[in-house]
Amino acid sequence: MIIDEVRAFPIHAAPRPATPPRIPRREDAPPMVSPMRRYPDLLPDWRGRWTDLACVITARDGTWGFGFGSFSPPAVSIINDHLGPLITGQSCMATEKLFDVMQRATAHYGTSGLASYAISAVDMALWDLKGKVLQRPVYELLGGPQKSSIPCYASATGHDYGLESTIEWFLELGFKAVKVFFRHGPSDDMDGLRRNEELVATARELIGGERELMVDAWMSFDVEYVVRLSEALKPYRIKWFEDSLRPDDLGSYSRLRQRIPHQILATGEHWYSIPPFAFAAANGLIDIFQPDIRWVGGISAVLRICHLAEGHGQSVLPHGGMNYPYGQHLSFAMPAVAWGERSEGVSPPGVPLAEMVKLPGTAVIENGELVPSDAPGFGLEITREWLEERAA
């Protein structure tokens, strides 16, 4: 089946829940730690005002696939002005070839970063289209179900409703584990270190001793700070320490591995394409790879990362993998993936998870487990009318 058109455009796909939270939102909620914490005068707008993007790839017979990306308008321009014209006229079934084409074609201006976001959206749309043409769910195209369901954990990115109420709601929803994000970093000195430990101690008390607890520093620490904090957190039996350093600082990850060999380390949501994962695997830098399917290069990239991890005895936990059907289908099929993460705020206390879905047709976690849609492609129930309504 020949690709007839590739079109990307900005989109607002925020959920529109009908159920109000059962408790009021806090106005004094502490912000999550960030790489920019040392410059408080530049918060909270330092990440820019870009929106999500939609990528629609239409085959000659009118069948179309949908990819959902980030960082519009620059990623939209990369798709519409470069990648789209490049692959138009090619077979939509040739996902391996087209992924390789896009990787090579962006090399002269950098396959990482914005180019990777654009490649991801195109690749996901291609897999969706491929599944629709073949009338099979994508997870079958990836090898079929490897597990009966995906056990899920919840990431408490925000404290807008208080840590206690948030974790209690997660447990009520049946999540198997919880991840918390630190609120303080190296610029907060010893007081910040103490507050971070108190946060983890509180979380451990709330979830009890039978569930796993993970922590996330979101690219905001340095080696010294991680070493000190990791030692302080030993009594709370942390499953893994995530995203502790700047993603491009692989040398520091090597030093950190040597300093705290006891601690399970996870990262990779801000690594792009295959090389950083290959380097980390070959040099034993981390234990768990966490690529984001919408950022790293799409399904085609994470497939390669999963096989790479298996070859080195490591695991893969896609960043935000349960937020969208793309990660759901891949996780369902891959032996390297044991758990699924639900992030992006998950759900305010009392608001059903079904009302927090961004893309119609996305499967919903039930009692801490998820089974993807078995409809063709990714099972999305998106119409062209919905796209027109949500277009930015």
Catalytic site residue from 159, 184, 319, 329: 319
Distances (CA, A) of 251 to 14, 272, 341: 38, 17, 27
Give the mean model confidence (pLDDT) for residues 59-67: 98
Query: Sheet of 3-11: strands edge to edge?
Result: 3-11, 51-59, 64-72
Query: Is pLDDT of 22 > 80?
Result: yes
Give the mean model confidence (pLDDT) for residues 3-27: 96
275-283 vs 298-311: helix crossing angle, rounded to 10: 10
Q: Please indicate whether residue 262 is annotated as part of the active site.
A: no
Rounded to two decimals, the pTM is: 0.97
Query: Is pLDDT of 44 > 80?
Result: no
Contact 318, 326 (CB under 8 A): no
Contact 274, 75 (CB under 8 A): no
Q: Taking Cα atoms as reference points, which of 276, 301, 361, 287 lies closest to residue 120?
A: 301
Give the mean model confidence (pLDDT) for residues 166-188: 96
Q: What is the mean pLDDT of the chain?
A: 96
| pLDDT top residue among 86 and 42 | 86
The two beta strands, 315-316 and 212-216, are: unpaired
Give the mean model confidence (pLDDT) for residues 365-372: 98
Report the run of H or E that residue 168 belongs to, with start and end.
Answer: helix 163-173
Which residue in this structure is represented by tokens 């990714």? Answer: 378
Using DSSP, how many helices (H) and how many strands (E) does the chain show? Answer: 14, 12
Q: Which two tokens stand for residue 156?
A: 């408490």
Q: What are phi and psi of 217, to 5 degrees?
A: -105, -5
